[in-house]
Amino acid sequence: MMIYMDNAATTRMRREVVEAMLPYMTAEYGNPSAGYELAARAKKAIEQAREEIADTLGCEAEEIFFTSGGTESDNWAIKSTMMAKNRGHMITSKIEHHAVFHSCRFLEQKGYQVSYIDVDADGLISLEQLENAIRPDTRMISVMAANNEIGTVEPIAEIGKIARKHHVLFHTDAVQAYSNIDLNIERDEFDMLSVSAHKINGPKGVGFLYVRKGTKLPPFMCGGAQEHGVRAGTENVSGIMGMAKAAKLAFQNRKMRLSHEYEIRNYMISRIQREIPYAKLNGHPTKRLANNMNFSFGNVDGGTLIAMLDHQNICAASGSACTSASKEASHVLKAIGLSDEMAHAAVRLTINENITFQEADYVINCLKYDVMRLQSELG
């Protein structure tokens, strides 16, 4: 039996999601742009999906644009906003996902200017520094709603207020936040918001970008007239159907799901802190995603620990799935002030609603055994 605790990297599709997709991979294979009944049914299906997704955010269907996932949504929002002019300035945080971070680096190479705002030791952005960084040529702010490594939930309502006050566009990467924290179109005042299906038990390779009506966002993908002419490419019909189903389910049982995750997560955190020596919890103690734990264990190499857990049939991540292939310490863990050593010692466990206390106990016992073994070898 396998225990999967890497839900921040990706999630398993629900049976209902697969079932919602299957017809559009078989009998209902029409190209939504074509002119016959088979195509019209596919077109109707994606417009229905757009309505359902809009309902989860309380926005209008025409404000939802389907993309190939979180990475494309982030690239589109940032590059297209900035590159609409030849120069300009934008503001982001030091703990963004690589899809945002590397888009900003790309823009810097093209001559645009980017301010990277500090976070505190818990990963919360400095609002004062953010507001002070705004200049006359600042075009946008991009700050994530919740962090994928340490789980910290950022004050997006406050950031939105600052952006609005200074007439600057506000984009948020909500890939980890969507359906897991309360996002409110009116209160939070964001102009663009990125979501990915495979982080909410939907299929990989599909997502969307919410774009507030009236926001000027040039196309990123050029080609046909799909998505009102701003995102070309034949629609991923089955993927969109799967995403809409996954979104609907995620919002339907949200209260119960989150409270179960909180309960198990808090139980695990308190046992780990009590029973495992030199365990440091990374990220904010309370303003964090319900399913996220990130620990650095003193005198332990995170990669080695992950391999030991793998042998015990536990899937966990060292720091972040995206950085595990590289030797560089995670930029997120560095930004919250961890030493290289403590950053390399980090392990991320992200649970889902199906985890039982019995499974949680098994994972804690394995962790305890592995960590203490590594600490006695290395310490």
Kindly list the residues in this chain that would bind ligand PLP in the complex (CB under 6 A).
69-71, 74, 97, 99, 144, 148, 173, 175-176, 196, 198-199, 207
Q: Which is nearer to ligand PLP, 69 or 88 (CB)?
A: 69
Q: Assess whether 322 carries a catalytic annotation.
A: yes
Rounded distance, CA 374 to CA 298, Å? 10
Q: Which is nearer to ligand PLP, 199 or 260 (CB)?
A: 199
Residue with smallest beta-carbon separation from ligand PLP: 70
Beta strands, E only, the chain: 3-4, 64-67, 89-93, 113-117, 138-142, 169-173, 192-196, 207-211, 279-281, 292-297, 314-315, 346-350
Least distance to ligand PLP, CB of residue 97, Å: 3
Cβ proximity of 179 and 250 under 8 Å: yes
| Residue at token pair 């945002």 | 100
Least distance to ligand PLP, CB of residue 146, Å: 7
Catalytic-role residue among 59, 315, 322, 366: 322
Cβ proximity of 54 and 64 under 8 Å: yes
Closest CA to 180 of 142, 141, 147: 147
Give the Å distances, CA to CA, from 335 to 215, 246, 330, 378: 31, 33, 9, 26
Least distance to ligand PLP, CB of residue 152, Å: 12
Least distance to ligand PLP, CB of residue 148, Å: 4
The C-alpha angle with vertex 270 and arms to 329 and 370, in degrees rounded to 5, equals 55
| Residue at token pair 């049976």 | 15
**DSSP 8-class letter at 60:** -
Give the Å distances, CA to CA, from 29 to 18, 26, 185, 224: 16, 6, 34, 19
Least distance to ligand PLP, CB of residue 101, Å: 10
Least distance to ligand PLP, CB of residue 99, Å: 5
Q: Which residues, including other chains, have CB under 8 Å from residue 191's CB and lie 6 or more apart?
A: 163, 169, 170, 171, 211, 212, 215
Q: Give the CA radius of gyration of the chain.
A: 21
CB atoms within 10 A of CB 272: 20
Q: Catalytic residue positions?
A: 322
